Chains A and B, each alone.
Chain A
Amino acid sequence: MIDIIFCISAAVAIISALLTVSAHNVVHALLYLVTMMLAIALIFFMLGSPFAAALQIIVYAGAVMVLFVFVTMMLHQGERSLAAERQLFNPQVAKGPLILSALLVIELILLSLGSVGLHQEILTGSLPVDQTVKQLAIQLFGSYRVLVVLAAIMLLAALVSAIHITKQGNKPDTKAKPIHKSGSTEFTPVEIEPNQAQTNKKTRGEHG
């Protein structure tokens, strides 16, 4: 029974990954990507590491996806993305991810009802005591503490570099900027907004 549930989750993960890679629209790709991450979280759960499953959902399907969606909305690639956003709450678009996620939810309910016999000991043979979250924390802040510090430094470096890259008006870049049709070298939010308003008006005029 566990094998069947694993096979369904694996199939869901592979199908969503394929649809992610082959999607034409970024928003659809992100929906399928979230589904793939939920399927992988379910597999983690079945493998006897619920902590990793929770982290997968919180960090990947939560934080990273929010970052992606935020950037997708920020970039706002002209009329094509406008049309895509008009379709955003169209149930037709979200049908595929919804069906796949519903499969995963059914599997999770089956697992947690215990009808399959999901307990860590049964699932992964005789699981020793040293696979608990407590043991993980002892290891993490014991023998791996240098890596924790290094990870913290890496996060700080990523934060600083992300802020630096996205900062408006980097001086060395002004020379390398291509000639825009508007002639402006830098885009401030104030400058972007009228353009978006224009495209909005244009598309509204075309479709309205």
Chain B
Amino acid sequence: MIEITWILALSGVLFAIGLFGLLSRRNLLFMLISLEIMLNGIALIFIAASSLHGNVNGQLMYLFILTLAACEVAVGLALVIGIYRQQQDLDVDKLTKLKG
């Protein structure tokens, strides 16, 4: 049996790495990839909770997180393509069209 604290620590580390990537990278594709890392860290907690409590609710939540991630990636990548068509660049610092 794996200690639950280790899994929580791993999940926290993964979430922190993803958050760091999201905040530090300026490329839109890398920001989406960092979001994926964060979602994986969260999914890990749900699976660990499912195994800890001995029921399937955690795995069900993992299924819904998976659906959510698929939707997020689809819309995010569509936005990436749209932005690249308009700006010829994926740098978020250059996306200043909406600035007043």
Contacts and interface: CB of A to CB of B under 8 A. Distances in A.
Given A20-B21, A21-B17, A71-B77, A47 B47 contact: yes
B13 interface: yes
Interface string B1-45: 111001100100110011011001101011011101100100110
A67 B55 contact: no
Contacts of A135: 56
Contacts of B97: 176
A64 B73 contact: yes
B37 A139 contact: no
A16 to B, nearest CB: 9
Contact of A47 (B2, B24, B69): B2
Contact of A162 (B36, B68, B74, B84): B74
B6 to A, nearest CB: 7
A18 B44 contact: no
B54 A131 contact: yes
B55 A74 contact: no
Given A48-B51, A135-B56, A180-B88, 18 more contacts: A10-B6, A14-B13, A17-B18, A40-B44, A44-B47, A47-B7, A52-B59, A67-B74, A68-B32, A74-B81, A124-B1, A131-B59, A151-B64, A154-B67, A155-B70, A158-B71, A158-B74, A187-B85
A1 B69 CA distance: 33
A64 B70 contact: yes
21 contacts: A14-B10, A20-B34, A21-B18, A21-B30, A21-B34, A47-B50, A52-B47, A55-B63, A64-B36, A72-B29, A130-B55, A131-B54, A131-B55, A135-B56, A136-B56, A140-B60, A151-B64, A151-B67, A173-B86, A176-B86, A178-B87
A165 B37 contact: no
Given A21-B34, A55-B63, A37 B40 contact: yes
Nearest to B98: A176
A68 B33 contact: yes
Interface of A: 2-3, 6-7, 10, 13-14, 17-18, 20-21, 26, 29-30, 33, 36-37, 40, 43-44, 46-49, 51-52, 55-56, 59-60, 63-64, 67-68, 71-72, 74-75, 77, 123-125, 127-128, 130-131, 135-136, 139-140, 144, 147, 151, 154-155, 157-159, 161-163, 165-166, 173, 176-178, 180, 187
Interface of B: 1-3, 6-7, 10, 13-14, 17-18, 20-21, 24-25, 27, 29-30, 32-34, 36-37, 40, 43-44, 47-48, 50-51, 54-57, 59-60, 62-64, 66-75, 77-82, 84-88, 90, 97
Nearest to B86: A177
Contact of B51 (A49, A67, A155): A49
